[in-house]
Structure 1
C-alpha cells in the first residue's frame, strides 16, 4: 500500500512496498527516505518539508497501519468527500475556486456517510440535481495550516453522472465563481492551474 500526502505540491509517501513511483522518488537527490520510522524521524521530516529544495519524502514500514497512526497524530484530521461529475457528452464538471480549477467537495457532517456527503457537496457547490454515483474513485490527502493548526484533509472521491441540461449555480460563499463542463481536449489546460491531488483524481478517472 502507498499513501501520498501533499504539502502544497510536495508529496510525502507512506508505504509498505517499493514500487516504481517510490523508486523514482527515492533516488532523487533532494528526497528523504526513512525506513526506521520513529516520532523524532517524522518530526525531522516535517521540518525539512518547509525548505525550498525539499523534493519529496518517503516513510517505509512493513506495518502501514502503525505508520499511518504515527504520522496522523501530528495533525488534526478532517474527513471530506467530493465528486468527479460527468455529463451525457462525457464532459467533466470543474469549478473555479480561489484562483484554481477544482472539483466540488466538502467536509463530512456529523452522522453523515461519505457518499451522502459527496452528493450533498456537489449539489450545494454547483446547484446540480439528480446526481447518480457510479463508483468510488480514490482517496487523496493534503495538508494546510489553519490559524496555526496543522490540518490533514482526507478526501474521498466518487465518479458521478448528471445531466448538463440544467442550470448550475456557483456557491459564492465558498469562493466559487465559475462552473464549466470541460471536454477531454480542454482538460490539459485546466490541469496547468489546479492542485496535484485533483490531477490524481482526474488521472484515476482516465482524464
Structure 2
C-alpha cells in the first residue's frame, strides 16, 4: 500500500480492498488522473483507493500515468535535539528539493538542506521513508517522490532562508513547537513524525 496526496486529499494505491471501501475504489490501470484530481480538488471525492491485483506493479503503473519528479530532503536535528523547519507558502515544511543530474539521492538531500536553510556540517544517520504527492506544473500534473533522511548537525550558526525559493523563515523547533507547527503543515510531513 502507498499513500499519495493531492493537497490534503488522500489517494491509496493498494492490492487489497475491504467491502466497506468499494465505493472509493477505482482500477489503477483505467483511472483518468485529470478526472480524479478534478473531483478531489472540487471536494466531490474525499479519498480514493486505486486498486491493482499485484502489489509489485502498483508504482510502475502509477509512474506510467504521471511524469515522475524525484526529490530528497532531511529531518535535521541539532545537538539540543531540536528539529529544523522552514516556512514556505504559508505552511511549515522540511527542507527538500529536486535531484540534479549525476547526483545521488543522499547528495540531493544534503545539498537541498544547505541551500534552503544555510545549515552545514550535516550527516545522514538513517533513511526514513519515501513520500508521494501530486502537483501541477506548466499545466501538467506530476508525481513527486521524495526520499527522506534523518540527519544530525552540530551547526549553530546563522540560519538563512532561501528567499528565491519562497522560504521566509528557518527555525529550530523543540517537541512542543513541532506539535504546533504540524497543525499547519503538509500530510506528507506529518507522516515523518
| Corresponding residue to 1:32 among 24, 39, 52 | 24
Please say if 1:6 is aligned against 2:5. Answer: yes
Deviations 1:90-112 (A, max 9, x none): 11100111211110000000011
Equivalent of 2:55 in 57, 60, 64: 64
Counterpart position of 2:166: 175
Long gaps (5+) in structure 2: none
In structure 1, the residue matched to 2:141 is: 150
Call closer, same or farther: CA 1:59–1:180 in 2, change over 3 Å: same
Over 3 Å counting, the alpha-carbon distance change for 1:101 and 1:47 in structure 2 is closer
Q: 2:102 aligns with which of 100, 111, 120?
A: 111
C-alpha distance 17-39 of structure 1, shift in aligned 2 (>3 A):
closer
How many residues end up aligned between the 2 structures? 193
- 1:46-61 equivalences in 2 (<5 Å): 46-61=37-52
Which whole-Å deviations, capped at 9, do the CAs of 1:3-62 have from their partners, x for residues lacking one? Answer: 1110111110112345xxxx6xx7479x6123x543257676445323313111112333
Instruction: Note closer, same or farther for the CA distance 1:118–1:27 as it changes in structure 2 (3 Å cut).
Output: same
Contact 2:6 2:37 in 1 (8 A): no
Q: In 2, Cα distance between the equivalents of 1:178 and 1:199?
A: 19
- The CA distance in 2 between the partners of 1:173 and 1:198, in whole Å, is 22
Unpaired runs of at least 5, structure 1: none
Cα 1:132–1:48 change in 2 (3 A) is same
> TM-score normalized by structure 2?
0.90
Moved more, 152-161 or 163-172: 163-172
SS at structure 1 position matched to 2:72: strand
Q: Which segments of structure 1 move beyond 6 Å, counting only runs of 4 or more? A: none
What do you get for the CA RMSD once the two structures are aligned? 2.1
C-alpha distance in structure 2 between counterparts of 1:44 and 1:185, whole Å: 40
2:32 and 2:141 mapped to 1: Cα distance? Answer: 18
Matched, 1:163 2:154: yes
1-structure distance, mates of 2:34, 2:88: 32
